[in-house]
Amino acid sequence: MQQIVGRARAAFRSGRSRPLEFRIQQLKALERMVQEKEKEILAALKCGPSAYSHEILGVLGELALTMEKLPSWAAPQPVKKNLLTMRDEAYIGYEPLGVVLVIGAWNYPFVLVMQPLIGAIAAGNAVVVKPSEVSENTARLVAELLPQYLDKDLYAVVTGGVPETTELLTQRFDHILYTGNTAVGKIVMAAAAKHLTPVTLELGGKSPCYIDKDCDLAVACSRRITWGKYMNCGQTCIAPDYILCDPSIQSKVVENIKATLKEFYGEDVKSSPDYGKIINQRHFRRVKSLLEGQKIAHGGESDEASCFIAPTILTDVSPESKVMEEEIFGPVLPIVPVKSVEEAIEFINLREKPLALYVFSNNKQTGDSRDLQRWHDSQRCHHALRAPRSALRRCGPQRDGRLPRQAQLRDLLPPPCLPGQGPELGGCEQTEVPTWQHGDGAFGQALPAEAVQQEQSGTLHLGPAGGCESRGGKGVVSPARGVMGSQHLDPLLAPCSPTAELFFAVISFLPRQPMHWRGRRQKKRKKK
């Protein structure tokens, strides 16, 4: 593992992943891989017709959007100036982070590896990809195809199970992106903390679905809840986990869902090519155990040999039952009766914050409720690549800016550029490192407290009291006080006092040559 990560880091330090042309070239190669190897990918997924729309089209759409928008995403963004920077040009530069680890999930094994990879490539990073060992066919195919189309040193693939992943997490990365369950997410975060590596954890949660009494049940239950819940056999992170509804409409909800299930999958669900299976027997037994002691209104049939569990509906579910304690991640839909929207809100707020919330109501005030809006998300938001998506607490620290998935990495703060570098050197990641261009054309950037940076014209370092000492520097920002020094000065004080820094900051913005405003006024008077 050390050699793989070391090779990726050496390739990144060579600088060849930074040019915009190289990134687009690699993205085009990835697009060509998906198009040329489509049959092999679908065969590995073994998901029937849904695999194309959920996996292939998702990746191709992400690639198209990324290649179209990347030049504008990578461009430096101007920053509004203030009194101290009014004579300068301020930018936000975008820098690649370095070596990024992408750990994929098994429920959508291809798209959940490719989309983060697309973002990391677009941002100019080197990437180590670790597909889920649970979906071994897809993992094997990814390991075989990526080296054929992408730079072998910059983009490596590691396969294997828990031992390989554990060893991989001992290495130092510049960012880790993990998609999966909360338990493993804690392990990933603990390993990353040893190196102070920032992480993006896209985890799960129990996503509630509230159905108001006045809504159209045929639309809510038939075309939306049923599809969202039982797609991929319920193994989707944002699938509706349970329903909250008034007791008076519970039976109608059940009947509508049953009718839609028959329409979707026919009389014999087990033989339907559109209905999936549980990923393995361990997860089969976990989901099956959630049915114990519950009132089954529909379904419940199962076959451990084929990991089949029929679409199941549970009614009158107690909030304290086992099925309400953990994310189901299977084709089991509990219905919990509540008498009002206020009771539904209280029920949700007493539990861990969900990853998504689905509200079905014809009452605009109900849909616009601040307490419900706070957690509202939907399948449509998820598939809108330009729409941001985020989650908190047990769902993991994730901020998926979806511009495209490389925006997942935009909370990262890599080391700043050396002073003297211009904004044209920015990558695609949002580092929020301000860059000032002075009137003399020199550039300066904010430096961390421990920074010791060398310049051609001199040395900049911090004094013993946390001040700044600059000999021949071109302009920097003191992180402790946010006061700018400049090349205009003769900075021979070390450490600088706050008063001296402020004095230098004010002097630095005084004009070097007198401004001839009097002459201009006199000319105007003569014209009159």
**326 DSSP 8-state letter:** S
Please name the helix (run of DSSP H) or strand (run of DSSP E) that holds residue 345, with its range, or none: helix 341-349
Crossing angle between the packed helical segments 20-36 and 57-74, to the nearest 10 degrees: 170
The DSSP secondary-structure symbol of 484 reads B
Residue 317: CA atoms inside 13 Å, Cβ hemisphere, count?
Answer: 27
Q: Cβ(150)–Cβ(29) under 8 Å?
A: yes
- Dihedral pair phi/psi, residue 241, rounded to 5°: -90, -35
Q: Is 301 a catalytic residue?
A: no
Closest CA to 225 of 212, 213, 248, 241: 241
The H helix count followed by the E strand count for the chain is 19, 22
Find the angle CA(74)-CA(77)-CA(82) to the nearest 5 degrees.
Answer: 160
In 3D, which of 138, 165, 176, 347 has the Cα closest to residue 245?
347
| DSSP symbols for 367-426 | HT-HHHHTT---HHHHH-TTS-EEE-GGG-SEEE--SSGGGGGTT--PPPPPTT--GGG-
Which residues lie below 8 Å from residue 517, measured CB to CB, with a gap of 6+?
A: none
Amino acid code (one letter) for 154: L
* Per-residue three-class SS string for 43-112: HHHCCCCHHHHHHHHHHHHHHHHHHHHHHHHHCCEECCCCHHHCCCEEEEEECCCCEEEEECCCCCCCHH
Q: Could you say which of 202, 455, 469, 501 is catalytic? A: 202
Report the C-alpha gap between 195 and 53 in whole angstroms: 39
Q: How far apart (Å, rounded) are the C-alpha atoms in residues 496 and 227?
A: 65
Question: Which secondary-structure segment (H or E) carries 471?
Answer: strand 468-471
**What is the chain's length?**
528
366 CB-side CA count, 13 A: 18
Alpha carbon 506 to its chain centroid, in Å, reads 41
> Could you count the other beta carbons within 10 Å of the beta carbon of residue 57?
14
Q: CA-CA distance, 285 to 287, in Å (whole number)? A: 6
Cα torsion through 379, 385, 386, 391, rounded to 10 = 60
**Residue indicated by tokens 């975060």:** 189
| E-only strand ranges, 190-231 | 199-202, 208-211
Sheet with 358-360, strands from edge to edge, namely 295-298, 312-315, 332-337, 242-245, 208-211, 358-360
3-class DSSP state of 234? helix
Residue 496 tokens read as: 């600088």
User: Which active-site residues does the annotation give?
Assistant: 202
